[in-house]
A and B are shown apart, each in its own frame.
Chain A
Amino acid sequence: DTGVSQDPRHKITKRGQNVTFRCDPISEHNRLYWYRQTLGQGPEFLTYFQNEAQLEKSRLLSDRFSAERPKGSFSTLEIQRTEQGDSAMYLCASSALAGEQFFGPGTRLTVL
């Protein structure tokens, strides 16, 4: 399968802990996106990369959130000092320079 993959699929953590998620995009795609989805809402854009450069960050991305894409391949999203409000599905997507975005299965985060 050559689609977008995300790891882990589920993460349960205690408030105040740090968590890190990984996304592996479709190999020939230059752009990689992170979204967050909460219950009853559509996905909300967080940030995106073109190759290794982070080009845009949403105001939803507080200073506790950091994303990286070293070497323009996989990406990581880290949340420091997690809060209960961070509980959500975190979705990764990738695309060619222009075109539809292909989503991974998501990582469901639960903060206790």
Chain B
Amino acid sequence: DQQVKQNSPSLSVQEGRISILNCDYTNSMFDYFLWYKKYPAEGPTFLISISSIKDKNEDGRFTVFLNKSAKHLSLHIVPSQPGDSAVYFCAASNSGGGADGLTFGKGTHLIIQP
């Protein structure tokens, strides 16, 4: 029973365009959400997070949107660059601030094409 779902195993985007990665969750107790990026043979690297009291958080080229009523969040990357090619994981926590164990989705492999 997956509580965090990333339904697109892979996504291909042209360099310079916008990449949109989606994530759905089922547990209404989740109140803190994070996106991680992972290269092969490395651990996940934190990208951006959002609390459930907000609907948007922006950091440079990365923006996360949260729609609580739909239990959906998305990560926008604009403009997409070749170095963005990686696996992106959506994660959620119900402890307020992400201080407890995170629940991850299966990931989306983003491929940026030149």
**A and B from one complex:** yes
Interface residues of A (CB under 8 A from B): 4, 31, 33, 35, 40-45, 47-48, 56, 58, 91, 93, 95, 97-106
Q: Indicate if the CB atoms of A42 and B43 lie closer than 8 Å.
A: no
> Number of B residues whose C-beta is below 8 Å from A?
24
For A4, list chain B residues within 8 Å (CB). Answer: 43
- As a 0/1 sequence over residues 36 to 59 of chain B, the CB contacts with chain A under 8 angstroms (1 = contact) are 100001111110010000000000
A15 to chain B, nearest CB (A): 25
* Residues of A contacting B104 in the complex (Cβ-Cβ under 8 angstroms): 42-44
A-B contact count (CB 8 A): 61
Partner of A45, one of B44, B97, B102: B102
CB closest residue in chain B, given A104: B43
Known: A100-B34, A104-B43, A105-B42. A40 touches B106 (CB 8 A): yes
- Chain B 46-105 interface residues, beta-carbon cutoff 8 Å to A: 46, 49, 89, 91, 96-105
* Chain B residues at the A interface, C-beta cutoff of 8 Å: 4, 34, 36, 41-46, 49, 89, 91, 96-107
Knowing A41-B106, A42-B105, A103-B43, say if A56 contacts B97 (CB, 8 Å): no
Known contacts A4-B43, A42-B107, A102-B46; is A48 also within 8 Å of B100 by CB?
A: yes
CA–CA, A93 and B45, complex, Å: 10
Give the docked Cα–Cα distance between A106 and B4 (Å).
22
Contact B98 A99 (CB under 8 A): yes
